[in-house]
Structure 1
Amino acid sequence: MKITMKHQIEERMDLARQFAKRLMDSEADCKDLEQGLEENPKLKELYDDIATNLHSVNYERTDRQEWIDFQNKFLSRPSRHRNLIVRYAVVASVCIAVLTVLLIYRSRQENVPVQISSVTNLPTISVNDKVYTLDSTGIGQFLQQNHVGVQQIDKELAYVVDSLVPVEQEWHTIRVPRQGEFTLALADGSRVHLNTNTVLRYLVPFSDTTREVWIEGEAFFEVAPDKKKPFVVHFEDNNVTVLGTKFNISCYKERPSCATLLSGSVRLSNLHDSVILRPGQEGIISSTQKQIMVQDADVKVTTAWLNNRFYFKGLPLSEIMETLCDWYDLEVQFDQKSTGDMLFSIETKRYEDIDSVLRILESTRKVSFKRKNQLIEIKSNL
C-alpha cells in the first residue's frame, strides 16, 4: 500500500475522533455541531463523503458497555438533540468502517503488505568512550567487552545484574536520536521511557546509598520503591528525589523544564527553591525565574507521547514546531515573529512524516506551509 493512502486513512481516523470529542462535550448542542462542520472544511468533507452510506448502517443496540454509556449520556436527552447526535455518531462509525474496508480492499488489489517499515534511527549506548548501536549486532559487541549483562527486546534494553558477582562501576550513556524512542529497564526494577532527542547518563551498578541518573530531553520514570536508596534525577541545575513513583520530566535545551507527577510524591529542587509535588501537579522551572512554579497538570497532554501521539493545548506555533522538528528531524523558518506566536490546539497521531500534521494545522486557514527538503517555511494567512 502506498504511504500516502495510509496517511489519508489516518487523517480521516483523527477527524472521526474529533466528531467523538464534540459529542462528549456535555454542553454541546445541535448548533455547536453544525458550526463545527462549517469551521472545519475537512470535517465537512468527511461528512459529505460518507453521508450516502448512512442508509446501509445496521444501527442497533448491543450489550457492550460503550453502547450503554452512550445511551445513558445522549439518548436520554430531549428529542431535538437526539436525532442529530445519533446521526453524527453513526457518521463517525461509518467513516471508520468504510475506511477499514477500503484499506483492506486496496491492499489486496495491489497485493502488498499493509505495514510500513518503522523508523531506522537507532539509539546508542556509550561506555568507556566506545559507542554501541542498540540493535542485535551492537549488543553482541557490547557483551563481548565483558560489560554488565543486558538483554534487548525490540525497543527496550534490560539490565541483568547478579548481586553475588562483584561488578566494577562504569558510566553508561543512552542517546536517543531524533525520530527515535527507547525504554530502559534498570537492574533495580525501575523503568525509564526515553522520548526523541534525549540523553540519559547513569552509573552501573548504582552506588550502595543512592540511585542517580542525569537527563537531557524528556523521559517518563517508573521508579521501583527502595526506602534505603533514593532515586535522584538530575537535569541542568535541578533534581527530583523520589523513593518510588511515576513522573515525567521534560528538560530540552532553551525551553522551560517541567516535572509532572502522576503518582506518589517527589521533591523538586534547584539552587533557589524546593517544593513537594502531589499527584496531578507539575513544577515548571524557567531560565528567567528562580522560583519553581507549581500548578495543576493536564496529564493527558504531558503523557501523549507515550501513546505515540502529539497533544498541544493552546501553545504558540513556535513551540509546537520545535517538538515536531525534534520528531521529524527538520528545521523551520517563520515569515515573521508574530506567526510563531499564534496559539494552536491539536491532538493527532505521530505520523511517519510531518505532511499529515501540517495539513491539519493548515485546515485552520491561519497559516500555510512550504517544505524545501529539510526546511519548512511558515507563512501567516491573516
Structure 2
Amino acid sequence: MEERLEAAGGELLAIVRNGVATVALNRPTALNALTLGMIRGLAAWLEAWAVDDRVKVIVFRGAGEKAFCAGGDVRALYEGWKAGRTDLLEFFTVEYALNYRIHTYLKPIVAVMDGIIMGGGMGLAQGAALRIATDKTKMGMPETTIGLFPDVGGSWFLSRTPGHLGTYLGLVGNTIRAGDAIYANLADIYLPPESLARLDDMLENVVAKAPYPRGALDEVKTKLGAEPKEAGELPAQRKAIDMIFGLPSPAAIAAALKDTDYGLGEWPGKTLAALAKRSPTMLAVTQEQLHRGRQSTLAEVFRMELGMVATALEYGDFMEGVRALLVDKDNAPKWQAPGLDRIAQADVDRFFASRWPVGAHPLANLK
C-alpha cells in the first residue's frame, strides 16, 4: 500500500511505500531552498515516522535536476530583517532542532546529494546514516561569502574532517565534487547513474526488510558503490592545506598563501583572492567556531551556533553580505572590519558570549 503526503503547501512531498518514506524537497525553481514551513513539515514527519512501524528507512531527495538543496531561503530572511521583524531567530531555532534530530534519529536516513547541496542542505544531509554523492554533486558551505559562518552543524561536521580540511572549506566556502566529498568525510559513498537507478529497489527489498535496517546499509555500499570518476583536488592540496589552515589566524593564513606556490600552481593565489572577498570578522569567527566544535558535544554545537547566529543578525556583516551578493548583486559588501589586520577581537568574542541564562536556552532540550 502506498501513501502520498504533502506539507508546506506542496513544498514538501513524500511517498511511503514498502517500508521506505521518500521525502522530496519540492522547490526546484529555488534550488529547493528551505522555508520555515518546510523545516516544520519535515520535523513533524520525522516525529510521526519515529513511531510508525510501516517506516523502516527514510530517504531525502531534491526535486528537479539541479539541486538537492541550496540552503535556507536567506532572501526571505533579508526581507524580514528589512521589514523590522523581531522573530528571525525562530527560523534557525527550528532548523537547528531539526538538524539535531536527524543526527540522533534512530531509524536510518539516506540523503541522496544529487546536484547542488549547500548550507541548509548540508544540515539535512550530514546527519544522515548514508550520505550519497553522485556525478552531479556540488557541495559547499559558502556562508562566509555572505558574512555568516558555516552553521547548521558545520561546527560538528567540518571540524571532524581529516586534518584541517574543514577549516579550509569553512573559511574559503568553495565547492567540491563527489571525490573530494568522500575524501573529506562529507559523503559515504558515490553512486554512478546506473547504481542510483537501482537505489530505491534495494532500499525497499533489502534494507527495509532487514531485521536491522541501519546495518543493511552496508550492503548498499558494497553492491552499488563505486569509485568516483574524478579523484578530486583535495588529495594533492592536502599537505599545503594542513600546513596553512592550521595557522592561528586568518592573517597568518593569508601571509602563508602569499609565501610560495607550494607546487600547486594557481591554487594559493585563487584561495587568497577568495579570502580577500570574505568578511574578515567572520573568517576569524569561523576559525574559532571550528576550534570549539572539535571539543564540543553535538548538542553544545547547536546551542553555540544559535547564539552565534543571534549575534550575526545584530552585527551587520550577514545582512550586508546578503544584500551585496544576493539582493542588489553589486558584489561590493562593506564589511565591519576593513581588513584581516583590522579584526577586533572583542567583535569575535561577542559571537561566543552566553546570551541566555542556564536552562533558558531555546535549544536547552537537546540532550
Q: Structure 1 length normalisation: TM-score?
A: 0.27
Q: How does the TM-score come out when normalised to structure 2?
A: 0.28
Flag the structure with more relative contact order, 1 or 2, with Cα contacts below 8 A and sequence separation at least 6: 2
